[in-house]
Amino acid sequence: MRRYRPSASCARPSRSAGRRCARALRALQAQGLAIAGGPTAPLRVVEVSALSTDPLRDTLVHLHRLGRVPLTDLVGLRRALESAGAREAARRKPAPDLTAAREQIAAMRAAGTDIRAFDEADVRFHLEILRASGNEALSLVMLAVRDSIASHLHELLSALEDPSHTLRRLIREHEAIVEAIAARDEDASARLSDEHIARFYRRAMP
């Protein structure tokens, strides 16, 4: 965690500024974005990596179960998030380090037909691509969306009589996404990411 540093307005000795700062700090605490270590301890701002996506994930799950948000909409949201993340990763300067994403591809290959091991590496791969974009908001929202449909993904893969062909194809598509990002091709990165997700659901879902 990092220490919270007051803004210039917080430093002004006026009552109105003090009230504004107090309201802002209370809002941060209410949202779980800042923590007071004690009565005299400085306020600490929570790092993005420590934030929980559970509330958003649970909301999406409940809305889906109630029929308010169909699975196709969640898939569409995932497509939009991932294609945007891949585009930003390809555009980012300096170029992002894609080593972690490549390591997850290797883990998927090593998993063979172990669906659970493949699925875990697949999740980490997609998160690494979004982390490569440098956009923390995309990473957090995508994690919640991915978690909300995780059971469907696992069920779809587990239902395949012989998953080896599908898993090899997914690995090839992952490799193509990474290479497009490494080549700084924004359009190809976004297109390949979108097609990768759309193709899986189109083939796997009834």
How do residues 117-155 score in pLDDT, each as one tens digit? 998 899 889 989 999 999 888 887 777 776 666 666 777
Angle at 90 between CA 85 and CA 93, to 5 degrees: 110
The residue among 155 and 106 whose pLDDT is bigger is: 106
Preceding amide of 39 cis, omega within 30: no
pLDDT classification of 173: cutoffs 50, 70, 90: very high
Between the alpha carbon of residue 8 and those of residues 40, 46, 49, 121, 195, the distances in Å are 21, 21, 27, 45, 47
Domain ranges of the chain: 2-47, 54-204
Sign of CA dihedral 178, 195, 54, 35: positive
Name the average pLDDT for the chain.
76
**The pLDDT value given to residue 11:** 46
Residue 55 C-alpha from the chain's centroid:
15
* Reported pTM: 0.67
What is the rounded distance in angstroms from the CA atom of residue 157 to the CA atom of residue 171?
14
Tokens of 111: 């998993």
Mention every residue, 6+ apart, whose C-beta is less than 8 A from residue 77: 145
Q: What CATH number does the domain located at 54-204 have?
A: 1.20.120.530
CB–CB of 75/146 below 8 Å?
Answer: no
